[in-house]
Structure 1
Amino acid sequence: MKILLIGRDGQVAWELRRSLACLGKVIALDRRSAPVLDLTDPDSIRTAIRQVQPQLIVNAAAYTAVDKAEQESDLAWRINAVAPGIMAEEALTVGAGLIHYSTDYVFPGDGETPYRESHPTGPQNAYGRSKLAGEQAIQQTGVHHFILRTAWVYGRRGQNFLLTMLRLMRERELLRIVDDQRGAPTWSRLIAEATALMVARSGENGRFEPGDRQGIYHLTCGGQTSWYGFACRIRDYSHENGLLPESAARLEPIPSSDYPTPASRPAFSVLSNEKLFQHFGLQLPAWDQALELCLSD
């Protein structure tokens, strides 16, 4: 199988370059590659896909600056909403399938039980609206697809909460962390490995054939916590295992109202992974177990 991976060095894309390699030839492109694939340029998307002629397209690139998207909504829309639709159209043209990553931010965050794939959406910020539009653009084409919604993604590369906390805990005496937003931190490597397993179980004669299993899936680690709870576990494990000094910052829980941001965040964005288990028998570990695996890596 020839796989076109859109994105090369992002925290999920970097892991996908390794996990997908056992399934076929992986060609990873971005705006710095040759050929160029620039998500803000529809012609470059079309040209790259037609040149590669893949059997599967995996889009691991996105505009993810949630707060900045409030001022750059047009750019976020072009990358997160328009570009996936073009990928889907071109996938149909070359006879490929499409895997695309979305977000928990497509939901309003006003619930108390984990969101299922069928739950009504209602994004509260420009980023979430652009990601939901990307999902819809893909679905409208009729291309064979998986849309994988994940959340609170972190890893050992890129810019994410884990790496930010490890840095700030060394630099400061006190960190005040929001404690009234709940979600499931998810390690990028587990996202990539689960994706590869889904592809392996949906392949036939070197092609991506998901059949009646195509559609939207939630893909997060199990359990739930707050940003403060996440930070506490990072600090505790890192301290216990010599990754942080004794002088690491103290942590203090605060409400979201004490840390205003340009973009509204959902108060509750835990996703149900039951559909993933029912259709593929896949279940990611609990968020705290995954964090320990990542930090011990």
Structure 2
Amino acid sequence: MALQLFPDMNLQPNCFTLTSITSACAGLAALRLGKQVHGAVLRRNYGEDIKMSNALMDMYSKCGSIADAKRMFNRMGCKDKLSWTSMIAGYGMNGHGHEAIQLFSSMIHAGLRPDHVVFLALISACNHAGLVDEGWNFFRSMTSEYKMQPKNEVYGCVINLLARAGRLREAFDLINRMPFAPDESIWGALLGACKMHKNVELGRLVAGKIIEVNPDGAKTYILLANIYASGSKWGEYAVTRRLLRGIGSRKEAGMSWIDINDEMYSFNIADSSSRQVSLADEVLQILARHMHDAGTDFSQDFFSYMSSLCWDDSLVGEKHLQK
């Protein structure tokens, strides 16, 4: 709606307007539109505005164009802490963990002191890149070197980092050592990892902690049922599914979208009404063969899940999928 409203403005957009529309492009990962906004920024001589530059850098990162984000960062004559943080986060969300760490070192050498947001971006980058020991060391340096008490979000990120790497017991012990009561999101990160690593006993314990906080959360029951299924605990699986029906709640279906030639296409999970299911299935079979030929193995559970994905009805024509 923001993108549709923008061309109808009767007034000339100022820097604040362009920053807002850049954020809208970032939220939709609409790279082509974001580049058009960048052009409008340059034509109006707003390119030196630090807030505008930070917004453009964030947009390029979220659109997956990390090279453009890096160019924006390098061309900035004046950088504030948000500039460094945005670039570290951009490297992280695109899987460039080592580059994020190097940029953090450059930030320190530039004389800037990191805060909680910087560490959150840095540890998140380590999480995305699988740099578990590095992320754990940065977390410990917050208290030992910088005398900072990590906040809830940082704890959640570190717990997710450890748990996804299979270090479930370490993550559980860290939760118990937290100086404040863990919330549902922290327990939820550990529960999701229990499903990933098929740890039934710890999953049951963690799910109980979440249910104490939020007894009506459908996602918890779904994850717990999947954990029981992965461990062939079919009796407990059936009980959990009955409990889920009893609370009368459903987990909201995931939704994704992509911008092709200035038009947004959306798709979600298990939409059997779509005409593109067979086409998506065919492409997945091709990808599976490529993965097999490349020596990459994957579980049947993964392929069954991926086969449930389908395209929205608006995505008609094979050429869209080829793009």
Q: Comparing both structures, which one devotes a greater share of its residues to strand?
A: 1
The structure showing larger relative contact order (alpha-carbon pairs under 8 Å, at least 6 residues apart) is 1
Q: TM-score, normalised by structure 1?
A: 0.28
Q: Comparing both structures, which one devotes a greater share of its residues to helix?
A: 2
Q: TM-score, normalised by structure 2?
A: 0.26
